[in-house]
Structure 1
């Protein structure tokens, strides 16, 4: 029987806690959060949960709370990732992160770009976990996470790959004002940052909300626009193109929908930067001021039910990977679409939002691989670096949860982004 700590009991962390509660080989789930009430709230929905108050600013405090745990799942904001990872190394536990840490290159702030941080995680932190005989997996939510598995599945249909386009459109709108069904802080940080793209075998930066493309997907019911957005997938693919993506030369992440439409005006108005400004004799940080006025995503089942009862304006979306390359000497495009429960169906299935369902349970499937000893790789890997057997197992478990996919192979297609 195993003991696991989930560090962060927000919308996604609480979902992972609740799913772990159902795993037969799990003895205890430590639900850790700076806000003890949040940890206690999720434990009330569980049988094996133990709430603990933890200040993730202190490595030793995290390590003490995780004593006896074989795995720490990090669902904290990016700035705490290094501390949680260090705690996992300290107690010789495995580590899972829904994103990827920032500020990982200790003592070299001039070297500490996020891109170089990923490289450093693969190498230096990979070495440290391997020396402990443990495993760390980063980028394990929906995107990155589910998207990385599906990108691998799509690319496996090709003999050689030229371009991968990872695209997400979120069209859930309710009568209650909820611009983001996941962390507003993470969402707005991503909106403000220059995006990453992998182009002509080089990592490049692009402006947020730039380089729009249009798609007319049946699941959206109309033509939609997707734009550049800061995300992990192009970075992972760029690093791992030869071994896992059949020599892919270009990789993009495109995003559209409710969050983009809400945030673009804030970005253009200069309200998402972190530099203090003077306003009527007071110093304010525009980003912090905006964040203060954005509601947190719902995670309590009663609150989710109330939102649904108040009225759903629209509940659709698309989660798509397009992989372009050659098969049997022909130019083809592999068009892979993921289907997952929306707001109303997710609540009916599991008393969750659609975002919690896909991201939280998508993350949990990586946790399930780890707690069932199905990840023999030691060191640090990103979510696109599972072997083919692990990819198929992940997809089979996802199918059991109603997270399914379809593939359409088309000849003579070129990416238009």
Structure 2
């Protein structure tokens, strides 16, 4: 059994992770959180104490670390005695934190694919460019690495595996992510603006007819009639989970759809057309070198600041189609989360909540041994049922509709 958790990062998702780890410290042991800015870590721990989140008396400590410095992260792992590292920092630090885990033997869990700050939208499969190159090393050292264990990627990968296990043959996986909430600001992103915009300025890759295909952002859209949130417009987008699901289920078409309103699209388009979403430095008339994307990030609201005013709900799920007993078969597996309920519980909005709860569930499964794989795994390569059981208890219940979006609604284990 593994114990003691080190959380890397101090944003909105890290706040959820800290609260949920504290609520389950009887399983997870000591809770440590670290980032470049110590005050942010301390503020998160203060919110944990204010909510009385600790299930039992235990260690709750903040640390300062540069997560781009693998040796420093390894030293902190040793200092804290952490056997599980939950990386919810910038996607730029994945590989240095993973290397620190490989050096120390700690289990590694992240919520998004690694990104190189100097590159945008590399050729697929994205995991093959970075994380998967360390897979044999994880196996050789017996180090558990659970990749993409947020909601998407993460829970949606488990939804796909669960649905496919019900079938004799899978034909398509369509992941739909809708945020029907409102934060009341003129314009803001729900997580790190730099990562958010990088995700939408590159080529949209999807897997269809056994090959990678390309489109552009907002070029392919459709209306989805979903539980609770109703009919919502979503656009085909490039996303992490498409790259592992396409590798593990190459016979299936794999697409990702994200909901956007007209206002977001208009502002995004203007920013992009003006060159303000570029990651390439420019020089101002005063001789200052700046990166336009970082300037935009600096002037937009901090995503964690949106939480107090957020209302509405999210609906994220997988529509999976295939064949069962010789007949066409489809199922929609999904979750609905509430922004206000998330803020009441952990002080974060629903997007952070859906991203932060799953890695804690994964950490608990690593701690108890059920997901302690001693190698590198994407979520769909692990048994989804104990994951769903924990998610139900931790605040993200799984629902399904056999027969697709018009099917009868029921719990996943009904």
TM-score, normalising length: structure 1:
0.85
The CA deviation at 1:226 is 1.1
Contact 1:337 1:407 in 2 (8 A): yes
Distance 2:172 2:147 in 1: 23
**SS of equivalent residue, structure 2 residue 304:** coil
Match for residue 327 of structure 2 among 313, 327, 330: 330
Distance 2:124 2:276 in 1: 25
**SS of equivalent residue, structure 1 residue 318:** strand
The CA deviation at 1:177 is 4.6
- Unpaired runs of 5+ residues, structure 2, are 50-57, 407-414
Match for residue 240 of structure 1 among 238, 243, 248: 248
Query: Could you say which residue in structure 1 is the equivalent of 2:22?
Result: 21
Contact 1:167 1:253 in 2 (8 A): yes
Match for residue 367 of structure 1 among 363, 368, 375: 363
1:273 is aligned to 2:266: no
The CA deviation at 1:281 is 5.3
**SS of equivalent residue, structure 2 residue 30:** strand
Superposition pairs of residues 304-323 of structure 1, within 5 angstroms: 304-305=307-308, 307=309, 312=311, 315-323=312-320
**CA separation of 1:66 and 1:178: change in aligned 2, threshold 3 A:** farther
Query: Could you say which residue in structure 2 is the equivalent of 1:399?
Result: 392
Distance 1:375 1:218 in 2: 31
Query: Could you say which residue in structure 1 is the equivalent of 2:236?
Result: 228
Count of aligned residue pairs for this structure pair: 389
Match for residue 380 of structure 2 among 367, 381, 384: 384
**CA separation of 1:50 and 1:178: change in aligned 2, threshold 3 A:** farther
**CA separation of 1:165 and 1:264: change in aligned 2, threshold 3 A:** farther
**SS of equivalent residue, structure 1 residue 173:** coil
What RMSD, in angstroms, separates the aligned Cα atoms of the two structures?
A: 2.7
Distance 1:362 1:27 in 2: 18
**CA separation of 1:213 and 1:411: change in aligned 2, threshold 3 A:** closer
Distance 2:164 2:272 in 1: 34
Distance 2:132 2:189 in 1: 34
**CA separation of 1:286 and 1:196: change in aligned 2, threshold 3 A:** same
Distance 2:146 2:347 in 1: 27
**CA separation of 1:228 and 1:137: change in aligned 2, threshold 3 A:** same
**CA separation of 1:380 and 1:179: change in aligned 2, threshold 3 A:** same
**SS of equivalent residue, structure 1 residue 188:** helix
The CA deviation at 1:114 is 5.8
**CA separation of 1:158 and 1:130: change in aligned 2, threshold 3 A:** same
Distance 1:304 1:403 in 2: 18
1:211 is aligned to 2:220: yes
Q: Deviations over 1:324-345 (max 9, x none)?
A: 12122222322223222x1112
**CA separation of 1:122 and 1:348: change in aligned 2, threshold 3 A:** closer
The CA deviation at 1:178 is 5.9
Query: Could you say which residue in structure 2 is the equivalent of 1:83?
Result: 96
Which is worse superposed, 94-103 or 252-261? 252-261
Query: Could you say which residue in structure 1 is the equivalent of 2:67?
Result: 56
Contact 2:27 2:364 in 1 (8 A): no
Distance 2:72 2:245 in 1: 35
**CA separation of 1:61 and 1:162: change in aligned 2, threshold 3 A:** same
Query: Could you say which residue in structure 1 is the equivalent of 2:84?
Result: 71
Distance 1:260 1:204 in 2: 25
Distance 2:89 2:34 in 1: 10
Match for residue 97 of structure 1 among 101, 107, 110: 110
The CA deviation at 1:30 is 1.7
Distance 1:412 1:356 in 2: 26
Distance 1:7 1:185 in 2: 18
1:295 is aligned to 2:291: no
Query: Could you say which residue in structure 2 is the equivalent of 1:42?
Result: 44
**CA separation of 1:90 and 1:412: change in aligned 2, threshold 3 A:** closer
Match for residue 258 of structure 2 among 255, 258, 261: 255
**SS of equivalent residue, structure 1 residue 149:** helix
**SS of equivalent residue, structure 2 residue 137:** helix
- Unpaired runs of 5+ residues, structure 1, are none
Contact 1:121 1:380 in 2 (8 A): no
**SS of equivalent residue, structure 2 residue 272:** helix
TM-score, normalising length: structure 2:
0.86
Distance 2:75 2:29 in 1: 18
